[in-house]
Structure 1
Amino acid sequence: MHLLQQYLQRVFYADVRALSLMRIWVAAVLLLDIGIRATDLEAHYSNMGVLPLHVLHANAWNQYFFSLHALSGLWQFQAMLFLVAAGAAVAMLLGYHTRWATAISWVLLLSLQNRNPLITQSGDSLLRMLLFWGMFLPWHRHYSVDARKISPSIDSKPTQYVSAATVAYLLQVAWVYVFTALLKSGPDWTTDGTALYYALSIDQVLMPGGKLIYPYPELLKFLTHATYYGELYLPFVLLIPWRTTWWRLLFIMCIVGLHIGISLTLFVGLFYLISISAVIGLLPTPAMDFLDRRLRVGYGRVQQRWEGLAKSVASPVRVQVNVQWQAPRWAQRIPRKYVREALVLTCLVLAFWWNLGTLRKPALQFPKALEAAALVPRLDQNWSMFAPNVFKDDGWYILEGITTTNKKVDLNQQGKEPDTVKPASVMGLFKNDRWRKYSENYLFSPNAYMRPYYCFYLLRRWNEAHPKQEQIQELSVIYMKEFTLPNYKTAPLQREVLCHCKP
């Protein structure tokens, strides 16, 4: 038992200052996510957009999901929820009533993701899980408003913290990479080493950095194998019980380098920022000692200015609300710590079991009887990024409209005459990564139900923004499919009409 305790303390500890830094980063990314999503309130979250509520419930809804955003199809209602979510994220950033702010942020993020699953990606799952484990982590103890309320002796207390939540957090970060590697079971990753070649052949996600390395097949092969084996084996260094500082720093530097490289080569939205935020809480104590000395100087200056501003705008009226929850008598006999630890460990087992189920092995399948326990809090995860192989088919959209004067226009090209020439930047056709993900899901035949709603949305928005003579009377959503072959070759273009609609 003593050896187990020593192992847990060496391997699964988290420095509370590092957790506080992670809180700030996660809150900042959450605010950025809210801001990006807010530019598409009508399109993605209202009944006037691409996924009205009745279509969501009929085709993309899970019986165990809940969503406050699904209570109304008005964009004004969505705007109110977005403001509440932004307020909670700001409170979490500042560390003001941090646990409540984290819980509210988590609930509203679940609600938002459940409202439109057609635009979600793996980074959303990771952000959701960071908030979930964050509710049980002491990431309010430093660099926060709440820290000012704690006894000054807090600085003299050990900064290393071990609990079921730190175990869950570390394992969550580790298995993201292990499971994504296990799911990459195709020859593109395991033998041929062509995965990165095919990934960079997808013009929808190709970034400038990707264009620079794309012409070098041997480099791409090396990077493919380095990524695959790094994801598969590197996380296990976090479980080594000696020289944990160096192993953690190695893991953090490799993961940060990996995601910076991904962000320079592939269009992945906020995924790289979310992934970097996930490893900040793993910073070891010696590294935080170094950072903390420098952070406290800047934090002290900000605190002085904040206090001066607070005095100058102090309200003459102070309202204090004190809400207490009275536990039932049977619960009062059980220490709250044990209840919390048991809850976290139960959720950890459910989340890990769900990940095992994604490997599609009969003996590892997640039991149907427990689905509600995993899906209500959204512990479900799937890290099948470019797995088992990378898509070989690529292409771009032509939104071909016919005006009242029988003129053909391409809505994707600011009304120019449609042609089949590949745009200079296919990625540039998308407003943001949410729209890119939507267009990817738009192609799959099981999602054919979503096609007419996108078509009608585009047609309506174009006609609302243009005079009568430029309005369109019918619209076709056309996909120019380009299949990638080995050795930098492509198959002949295929023109596919995915949807046709009229006002």
Structure 2
Amino acid sequence: MTSNGSDAGDAPGRLRAALAARFGVDERALAVLRAALAALVVVDLALRARHLTAFYTDAGVLPRSLLAEQYGVLAQFSLHALSGAAWAQALLFGATAVAALAMLAGYRTTLATLATGVLVTSLHYRNPLVLNSGDTLLRMLFLWGVFVPLGRRWSVDALADRTPDASDGRVASVATAGLLVQVVVVYATNAVLKLRGDRWLAGDATERVLHLDMFTVLLGDALAEYPALLSALDRVWLAMLVGSVLLVALTGWLRAAFAAAFAAAHAGMLATMQLGVFPLVSVAALVPFLPPAVWDRLPGWRRTPGVRRLPVERWARRVDGALPLLALPRPPRALVRWKRRVLPPLLGVLLVGLVAWNAATVGLVGVPAAAPVDESPEPRWDMFAPTPADTDYWVVAPGRLAPGERVDAFHGGPVRWAEPPDVAASYPSSSWRKYVANLRGGDPALAAGFAEYLCTRPGAPEGLRSVEVYVVEEAVVLDGEGETERVRLAARNCSGG
């Protein structure tokens, strides 16, 4: 009886320990997540900067007037929409890079994370036409990242003793739960959608994806020749998605192995498909699932030859004092106590709302009549689901210079309707491919913005009088070539006459 009473009395403690083991995150994992997110932002900025004028200025494909017309609410939340000039966008790009580098170093980590997240969100909202699921996931990771101690380890803040709170090396809170559940929600939602199609269950979905030449790069063409292997990978990936809840249910090395399997799958996507930074963001999102046992196996910088003797702490203190303007005063104790009482319930509501919203997008729960959203919200995580696209396409933009003279106003050179040798390479970047994908079936005003840009962009063919924008669509056929169809998206008189 005494033993049973003792066990019953300790039940809440065992429950708390079980929840902490599954929803807690090692501080070293948070440090690596911080560095990974910051580095990804810098890389993404560099990639987007190549098309800064085209995608983020009034001289591009989506001037602010068209942005406000098509995405009025989003435009209001974008600092980048305050100016249509290229210099202003370059300035904001630079500010985002500075904030990301501060976050990478762990300098004023919470402030740097908040600033980077706000600027990245602002950039995304400036042109929703070039975004993919990786961008959405990146924003969500920043949202949760603001509320977890990303700078407690391996940072300037930690080395300069700016984070004096005692810790056992593991953080368990509503925010860490949100960080982990967010990733599971992505996979679980995608699993539900894939199960509603026939291609993933049939085992030929990946083969069809790799026959979409607009996506396939590097090893993709070679893998497409092994349908039996791809069919097996289809079923393994679908099983992993269906069982993605195990990412939080498992602990220790089993959790690490399962997270590593997901990371390997995303590495495979990176090696076979042109998906921008989506696979890298997905790998970064898996880092918090790695348990303490993994990090305990790492030597740490203090035991690394060639590094351990460096005066890292002294350097960190010098960096810490380099910008006194950012030395924020400590908040009043009353405010700290209020934050500790109010913030967890608010984050709890956010977490419940996150799960409910995604359940509503796949029809698992209904949307209340009073909700400020459509009764059938679109799912965010529908990557190649429920069925992969069955149409490949590329852009052809015939431009008329003079009677009898024509040029491709998008690619330059003569107008060619035939399939390019490398469809993926015919798009300047994955952002351009995503942009064209959103033009198909979208508001004609968006495609008209593309035609206008081709008329006026720097480097446009001299004497360009008019331009048309087409996509040439080709049906995907696994054992041959499909039929093609020319679909005109827009036309523009460049001379104004």
What residue number does 2:476 align with? 484
- Given that 1:237 and 1:247 are in contact with CA atoms closer than 8 Å, whether structure 2 keeps it comes out as no
Amino acid at match of 1:17: R
Alignment match of 1:435 (pick from 421, 432, 437): 432
Alignment match of 2:449 (pick from 447, 450, 453): 453
Cα deviation for residue 318 of structure 1 reads 6.5
Amino acid at match of 2:38: A
Partners in 2 of 1:366 and 1:66 — Cα distance?
A: 26
SS state at 2:384 partner: coil
Superposed, 1:268-417 pairs within 5 Å as: 268-293=275-300, 297=304, 300=307, 304=311, 307=314, 321-323=327-329, 334-361=337-364, 363-365=365-367, 368-369=370-371, 382-404=380-402, 406-415=404-413, 417=414
- Given that 1:402 and 1:409 are in contact with CA atoms closer than 8 Å, whether structure 2 keeps it comes out as yes
What residue number does 1:59 align with? 70
Is 1:259–2:266 an aligned residue pair?
A: yes
SS state at 2:73 partner: coil
CA separation of 1:366 and 1:384: change in aligned 2, threshold 3 A: farther
Amino acid at match of 1:209: L
Partners in 2 of 1:68 and 1:151 — Cα distance?
A: 31
Amino acid at match of 2:386: P
Amino acid at match of 2:452: F
SS state at 1:291 partner: coil
After alignment, is 68-77 or 128-137 more displaced? 68-77
Amino acid at match of 2:404: N
Cα deviation for residue 365 of structure 1 reads 2.4
Is 1:473–2:471 an aligned residue pair?
A: no
Partners in 1 of 2:228 and 2:57 — Cα distance?
A: 48
Partners in 2 of 1:26 and 1:344 — Cα distance?
A: 21
What residue number does 1:100 align with? 111
Partners in 2 of 1:460 and 1:80 — Cα distance?
A: 23
- Given that 2:156 and 2:317 are in contact with CA atoms closer than 8 Å, whether structure 1 keeps it comes out as no
What residue number does 2:24 align with? 13
TM-score, normalization: structure 2? 0.89
Alignment match of 2:50 (pick from 19, 39, 55): 39
SS state at 1:397 partner: strand
What residue number does 1:116 align with? 127
CA separation of 1:397 and 1:222: change in aligned 2, threshold 3 A: same
Superposed, 1:199-210 pairs within 5 Å as: 199-210=209-220
Partners in 1 of 2:306 and 2:450 — Cα distance?
A: 48
- Given that 2:223 and 2:230 are in contact with CA atoms closer than 8 Å, whether structure 1 keeps it comes out as yes
Partners in 2 of 1:63 and 1:151 — Cα distance?
A: 36
Instruction: Deviation per CA, 1:24-67: give whole Å up to 9, x if none.
Output: 01100011112212222221111111111111111123379611
CA separation of 1:38 and 1:296: change in aligned 2, threshold 3 A: farther
CA separation of 1:292 and 1:164: change in aligned 2, threshold 3 A: farther
Instruction: Deviation per CA, 1:243-297: give whole Å up to 9, x if none.
Output: x112221122101110011111111110011011111122211111122435753
TM-score, normalization: structure 1? 0.88
SS state at 2:486 partner: strand
CA RMSD in angstroms, aligned pairs only: 2.9
Partners in 2 of 1:15 and 1:172 — Cα distance?
A: 17
Partners in 2 of 1:30 and 1:182 — Cα distance?
A: 30
Cα deviation for residue 215 of structure 1 reads 2.1
CA separation of 1:187 and 1:359: change in aligned 2, threshold 3 A: closer
- Given that 1:143 and 1:299 are in contact with CA atoms closer than 8 Å, whether structure 2 keeps it comes out as no
SS state at 1:191 partner: helix
Cα deviation for residue 239 of structure 1 reads 1.1
Instruction: Deviation per CA, 1:89-116: give whole Å up to 9, x if none.
Output: 0110000000000111111122111111
- Residue segments in structure 1 that go unaligned for 5+ positions in a row: 373-379
In the alignment of these two chains, the number of paired residues is 480
CA separation of 1:335 and 1:478: change in aligned 2, threshold 3 A: closer
CA separation of 1:480 and 1:267: change in aligned 2, threshold 3 A: same
Amino acid at match of 2:486: R
Is 1:424–2:424 an aligned residue pair?
A: no
What's the % identity of the aligned pairs? 30
CA separation of 1:473 and 1:152: change in aligned 2, threshold 3 A: closer
Cα deviation for residue 86 of structure 1 reads 1.0
Superposed, 1:129-148 pairs within 5 Å as: 129-148=140-159
SS state at 1:364 partner: coil
Instruction: Deviation per CA, 1:126-177: give whole Å up to 9, x if none.
Output: 11111111111111011110002328987x8411221111111111121211
Amino acid at match of 1:424: P
What residue number does 2:207 align with? 197
- Residue segments in structure 2 that go unaligned for 5+ positions in a row: 1-11
- Given that 2:194 and 2:386 are in contact with CA atoms closer than 8 Å, whether structure 1 keeps it comes out as yes
SS state at 1:30 partner: helix
Partners in 1 of 2:449 and 2:35 — Cα distance?
A: 38
What residue number does 1:376 align with? none
